[in-house]
């Protein structure tokens, strides 16, 4: 996960990666809830 962000060479890249992961988690939760 973090390795994908580290390729940009900065905390911003890691933050973006974490943000994308959170989106995936939220989408998974939404599908599980049936919303």
Tokens 């939760």 label which residue? 29
Query: Measured between alpha carbons, how far is 18 from 33 in angstroms, rounded to an integer?
Result: 22
Q: CB-based contacts of 34: which residues, under 8 Å, 6+ apart?
A: none
Read off the pLDDT of residues 5-15 as tens digits, 9 standing for 90 and up: 445 556 666 67
Percentage above 70 pLDDT, the chain? 49
The sign one gets for the Cα dihedral 15, 20, 25, 27 is positive
Q: What is the pTM assigned to this prediction?
A: 0.39
Mean pLDDT in the chain?
A: 67
Q: What local confidence, expressed as pLDDT, does residue 27 receive?
A: 83
In order, the DSSP letters of the chain are -HHHHHTTTSHHHHHHHHHHHHHHHHHHHHHHHT-
């Amino acid at each position: 996960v973090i390795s994908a962000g580290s390729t940009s060479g900065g905390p911003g890249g890691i933050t973006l990666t974490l943000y994308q992961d959170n989106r995936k988690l939220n989408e998974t939760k939404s599908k599980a809830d049936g919303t």
